[in-house]
Amino acid sequence: MKARIVLTILAAMALCMYATGPAAAVDHAQFVKGPFNSGEEVTKACLQCHEKQAEDLMQTPHYKWKGVPRTVKGLEDSKEEYGKANLLNNFCTDVEGGSRPFCVKCHAGYGWTENDKLPKEKSKTDCLVCHAKEGNYRKGLGGDVDKKDLAKGRVNLEKAAQSVSSPNRDNCGACHFFGGGGDAVKHGDLDSSLSKPTKDMDVHMGKPMDMNCQACHIAKDHRIAGASTFLATNDGRVSCEDCHRDPHKDSPSHRVLARHQKTVACQTCHIPTFARAQATKMSWDWSTVGKDIEDIQEQYGKETYAKHKGTFVWGKDVIPVYVWYNGKTERYLKGEKIKDPKQVVYISKPVGNIKDRNSRIYPFKVHTGKQPMDSKYKYLSIFQNFGGLWTHYNWEKALADGAKASGLPYSGKYEFVSTAFYGSINHEVAPKDKALQCGDCHFGGNKRLNWKALGYAGDPMRTGGRFEKKERDENSKQGKKTAKR
């Protein structure tokens, strides 16, 4: 008996020695024993050695679903935090209207079913969602494992707990591939095809490179680097130049391409289209909810109408929208008054212009929609979809219930307005032989870039680049000063 106790203590000490190192280095099967009846029970076992990791996770946007709005222009020093927890979009729109029990299936924790009650106990952190490799781990409503799945053996928590290691693409993809309510719906450049992609699908994630997400999205103390126009905050930015310092040095066109890099983001040329394997949702019209439409057509095998959600438009092999971007966004905030409801309401829009030297031309997915606005208060309304509109199709009730849950008043009158959301495109990087060529953007073959919308007089190959005149003027001034000396 004493020998068994000693061995158990030694095993626990060995596991703790690895607590700050690569999780993959430790076979947890020898330390973690079930049975477990909930994800929270697994976390309590993890906390015996990983208490600090749980504390770290609870301070991150993955747990809080918000953070300092570093990417939002004018709010960089805000004391109020923003994120998925309190911002709107034009997909499922929000989590505050009473729909949180559905949304938290993708939360890195357990038990967060009410808006203002983010659990503070370390046992509420979810280790398995990012680290389990086996056991078919998945979460149900309310953010915990479905009891029926456990009872029927569809989820094995002991096997999941024993299989933990560093996250792989499937761990990250369990949430990020399925954003917006389904596979490929939200992001356009992230879907389940990236679980095991070919090199042509993504040169980094396909073999032979086979890179995991954290190869670029570096993590420290569970804070994961990466910024996007989908987000309000970031824990460090990721750029292609982190690895590709002088990517065209061996190219015969090195000089021309190096000049392009000052104005054109790497993604613009190296991601010619997005949604290459699966169609992505390009528009979502909530105004048609509840209608009985019989002749429903499909696009790319996807439904274009659902009675509880409305009407959809899908796109595949989509050419991105190209705009200037300097790393900041303009973001619609909860309760913000809409000045002109007849105009498109931009929920997220990149900041930048041709005169801003920090701006470059980036590719984006622009998701359009129609969603309710309060006719009196003139702000986007928060409504209850899960457990509400999705069941009874009654807008009046859904808006009233959403107002009660969110604290944003509903006047009793509503109308639908057009919205748009710019989403960053950073994945599905094509091999270099599939990158855009000169004629794809310049000369008569250009079907991609609207030069005038970007601020150019015309094709810069003919009219000159944005820096050329200024640089000539500066060189001329410098030359005159030198001549006087």
- The pLDDT tens digits for 331-382 are 999 999 999 999 999 999 999 999 999 999 999 999 999 999 999 999 999 9
Same domain, 467 and 437: no
Same domain, 484 and 379: no
pLDDT cut 90: percent of the chain above it: 86
Same domain, 384 and 459: no
The answer to whether the beta carbons of residues 146 and 107 sit under 8 Å apart is no
Three-state SS sequence of 129-189: HHHCCCCCCCCCHHHCCCHHHHHCCCCCHHHHHHCCCCCCHHHHHHHHCCCCCCCCCCCCC
58, two tokens = 């609870």
Residue 397 in domain: yes
Same domain, 341 and 421: yes
* CA-CA-CA-CA dihedral for 182, 350, 455, 281, to nearest 10: 10
Same domain, 278 and 321: yes
293, two tokens = 């439409």
The answer, yes or no, to whether residue 17 has pLDDT greater than 80, is: no
What are the angstrom distances between the C-alpha of 42 and each of 33, 113, 126, 161, 236?
A: 9, 20, 9, 7, 30
Which amino acid, one-letter code, is at 443? F
The answer, yes or no, to whether residue 231 has pLDDT greater than 60, is: yes
Residue 7 in domain: no
Residue 118 in domain: no
Same domain, 355 and 467: no
The answer, yes or no, to whether residue 475 has pLDDT greater than 90, is: no
pLDDT, tens only, 405-416 = 999 999 999 999
Residue 312 in domain: yes
pLDDT, tens only, 238-277 = 999 999 999 999 999 999 999 999 999 999 999 999 999 9
Same domain, 331 and 372: yes
Same domain, 389 and 476: no
Domains in the chain: how many in total? 2
| pLDDT reported for residue 454 | 96
| pLDDT reported for residue 22 | 42
Which residues are bridge partners to 65 per DSSP?
none
User: Residues with Cβ < 8 Å from 384, sequence gap 6 or more?
Assistant: 97, 98, 99, 398, 401, 402, 405
Same domain, 367 and 465: no
330, two tokens = 């303009």
Residue 55 in domain: no
Domain limits at 253? 183-449
Same domain, 386 and 283: yes
304, two tokens = 């274009």
Residue 352 in domain: yes
469: confidence class by pLDDT, cuts 50, 70, 90: low
Say if pTM beats, i.e. exceeds, 0.85: yes
Residue 344 in domain: yes
Same domain, 372 and 430: yes
User: Residues with Cβ < 8 Å from 395, sequence gap 6 or more?
Assistant: 289, 290, 372, 383, 389, 414
**Helix 2-17, helix 39-57: angle, nearest 10:** 40
Same domain, 312 and 423: yes
Residue 272 in domain: yes
| Radius of gyration of the chain, Cα coordinates, nearest whole angstrom | 25
The answer, yes or no, to whether residue 177 has pLDDT greater than 90, is: yes
